[in-house]
Structure 1
Amino acid sequence: MMKHPSVSAPQDRITIRHVAKDAGVSIAAVSKVLRNAYGVSEVLRNKVETSIEKLNYRPSVAARGMRGRTYTIGVLVIELSNPFLAGVIESANASLSESNYKSLIGIGRSASSIEASMIESMIDNRMDGVLIIAPRISGKVLERYARQIPIAVIAHHEPHAQTYDTINSDDRKGAHLAVEAALRQGYRDIAMLSYDLLDSPASVVAVQREMGYLEGMKQGGLEGKIIRLPPVAADRSTAIKNFLTSQHRPRAVFVWSDLDAVPLLNAARTSGVRVPEDLAIIGYDNSPPAAIPLVGLTSVDQNAAQLGRTAGEMLLSRIDGREHAQHVLIEPHVEMRGSV
């Protein structure tokens, strides 16, 4: 009876041993060709490369890592629903690509345990470095991993960290600028819409923005008022409606992020609250939706392109051997639109 050919099982994956046997050379000889070692003859190189092509052999990332760089970078983000992050990731990836690095993206889902597990996987897979955006894990945990692999972190304020680099918008100053923009427009009753921080440390961007808001209000001779939405990942829609219908609704509001500012503006307009005639709104991130003419949200711009590019460059310099930590703050500005 004729046997039908079967699909190779995962354990039948072609290895360096198969290549060596097919080429009629030693495993050490194949290894020399793969790592482009000095002194490899053209005859040997041709033999090995012919067998590699014939057998469709692909060296494992982990195996390449044991010989040197893998030219892969792990990019860890908490989630991809924030449209602002796309510009950061694209810019960082472009910076890394210029040095022939490939980026592999992992999503932490706003859970510190998942983030820690993903960093460990990136280390196990011999990646050359890790770029982390808005982590939920603590600075202590980052310090521990940074002793094992070069790490650069965006949206995490830890200016005294010694083992990893941080790249941030100057969130404190950005919030201060938002208050100044509202004051220039003549508003005095200015609240901040934040969320339940659940004892978050000062490294969290929302904490920095709250500090900046309070400083800006104090400098303007006003008392600050922070109104809190439910925690991150919770449904905010009911809380936003309650804010809009409150008898004590402020005349102007600075929202910690466009993630809540855009839904607030939309809810206001659909419920008959005029923007800015009844309620002026300023967001933070200057995300792509904020710039849509039908939205027209005034927002603090973090310069996503510069954040990503700087982070990529700093991570590469870490990989190249720099040991002293660098902590960069990028100057924000307010992009004025029709919501104020």
Structure 2
Amino acid sequence: MKNQTVNATRDRVTIRDVAHDAGVSVAAVSKVLRNAYGVSEVLRTKVETSIEKLNYRPSVAARAMRGRTQTVGVLVIELSNPFLAGVIEEANATLAKSSFKALIGIGRSTSPIEASMIESMIDNRMDGVLIIAPRISSKVLERYARQIPIVVIAHHEPHAQTYDTVNSDDRRGACLAVEAALRSGYTDIAMLGYDLADSPPTIVALQREKGYLDGMKAAGLEARIIRLPLVGSDRRAAINDFLALNDRPRAVFVWSDLDAVPLINAARMSGIRVPEDLAIVGYDNSPMAAIPLVGLTSVDQNAAELGRTASEALLSRIEGRKDARHVLIEPRIEWRGST
């Protein structure tokens, strides 16, 4: 009679134990674990039943020796931006369909930390790295991309050869924001950005500034960019200073909902009516923007498509693709009451 349990003295259930319990070969179990093409449902059910019964966990080290760990590192600069949740969820769902697990690291917008985390992902033999909204330099990305497949979101580097980029067309999106304000009847349109300081030229904020300038130039209007303090600093005082300006613009395009939502709140707390006294357009179409009490018109950069497209690109990199791909996803305006 076939043994139903593994010898209690053994430290770890092995793939051979699963094969023995299921009555199949080790190669068959391996195919199920790899989600290989052509595996029958009967075989899959047998193997998965034995895996569950024996509480089998594949050895990551052993799989790495065979060439794959079926793990992908996801590096984000922070988790406070609600827009990122939709990107990560769709990326994870896409990876899971190919039996890959995503392990998330947080870089805190600090290049040395981000670099260290990528090195840890390489050391742990992950199959690829998906990076979201990095401030890490292109030079550093080039170096690591020679060691591990990399796809980057929110990093505009269309000439990179060793890694892929997937972005909202941020320049076009900002132009759409200007067009939205124009369509609502406003011509005195400023942009609320932030101090770019030593920011790399690949950041989304710079592309959005260029798009704002494009839109204002196309309309024959004078551009005006008002800057908040650096990202990560307290912007409440600066937002209140903006609202108190004697020459406050009639409409404002805010580089991100991260500042557009607090701006709406501060305006209303100050007795400034939105949009009657100040029209506001944001960027990201974050979940907060859709709350009825907020009602922010915002540029939607399609979080789900960003996550899905980036994961698909990373999977094809892992499978051996070498040519670089740089994808721009078309944004659109989500109209609400702030304009």
Alignment correspondent of 1:275: 274
In the superposition, relative to structure 1, how do residues 76 and 144 fare at CA in structure 2: closer, same or farther (>3 Å)? Answer: same
For 1:201 and 1:115, the matched residues in 2 are separated by 15
Deviations 1:293-340 (A, max 9, x none): 111000000011111100010000000110000000000011111001
CA contact (8 A) 1:281 1:298 kept: yes
Deviations 1:150-189 (A, max 9, x none): 0010000000000000000000000001001111111111
CA contact (8 A) 2:15 2:58 kept: no
Matches within 5 A, 1:254-293: 254-293=253-292
Deviations 1:126-150 (A, max 9, x none): 1111000001110110011000000
Unaligned runs of 5+ in 2: 1-9, 18-25, 32-49
Let me know the Cα RMSD of the aligned residues.
Answer: 2.6
Alignment correspondent of 2:331: 332
Q: TM-score, normalised by structure 1?
A: 0.85
Matches within 5 A, 1:296-315: 296-315=295-314
Deviations 1:13-34 (A, max 9, x none): 9479x999x9xxxxxxxx9999
CA contact (8 A) 2:78 2:108 kept: yes
Alignment correspondent of 2:190: 191
For 2:82 and 2:184, the matched residues in 1 are separated by 28
Alignment correspondent of 1:156: 155
Shift of 1:123: 0.5
For 1:71 and 1:331, the matched residues in 2 are separated by 31
The SS at the match of 1:191 is strand
Tell me the amino acid that sits aligned with residue 315 of structure 1: L
For 1:14 and 1:164, the matched residues in 2 are separated by 41
The SS at the match of 2:261 is helix
For 1:174 and 1:213, the matched residues in 2 are separated by 9
For 1:293 and 1:220, the matched residues in 2 are separated by 31
Alignment correspondent of 1:111: 110
Q: Which moved more, 1:220-229 or 1:56-65?
A: 56-65
Tell me the amino acid that sits aligned with residue 80 of structure 2: S
Deviations 1:225-250 (A, max 9, x none): 11000101111011001111111211
The SS at the match of 1:222 is coil
CA contact (8 A) 1:258 1:284 kept: yes
Tell me the amino acid that sits aligned with residue 269 of structure 2: T
Shift of 1:271: 1.0
Alignment correspondent of 1:251: 250
Q: Does 1:226 align with 2:225?
A: yes
CA contact (8 A) 1:286 1:302 kept: yes
In the superposition, relative to structure 1, how do residues 206 and 14 fare at CA in structure 2: closer, same or farther (>3 Å)? Answer: same
Tell me the amino acid that sits aligned with residue 78 of structure 2: E
CA contact (8 A) 1:156 1:205 kept: yes
Alignment correspondent of 1:168: 167
For 1:113 and 1:311, the matched residues in 2 are separated by 24
Q: TM-score, normalised by structure 2?
A: 0.85
Alignment correspondent of 2:75: 76
CA contact (8 A) 1:66 1:126 kept: no
The SS at the match of 1:103 is strand
Tell me the amino acid that sits aligned with residue 137 of structure 2: S
CA contact (8 A) 1:35 1:67 kept: no
For 2:11 and 2:223, the matched residues in 1 are separated by 66
CA contact (8 A) 1:167 1:327 kept: yes
Percent identity of the aligned residues? 76
CA contact (8 A) 1:283 1:297 kept: yes
Q: Which moved more, 1:65-74 or 1:314-323?
A: 65-74
CA contact (8 A) 1:150 1:318 kept: yes
For 1:150 and 1:81, the matched residues in 2 are separated by 27
For 2:114 and 2:152, the matched residues in 1 are separated by 13
CA contact (8 A) 2:73 2:103 kept: yes
Unaligned runs of 5+ in 1: 1-12, 23-30, 37-49
For 2:283 and 2:84, the matched residues in 1 are separated by 13
The SS at the match of 2:88 is helix
Structure 1 segments, 4+ long, off by >4 Å, are 13-16, 31-36, 56-60
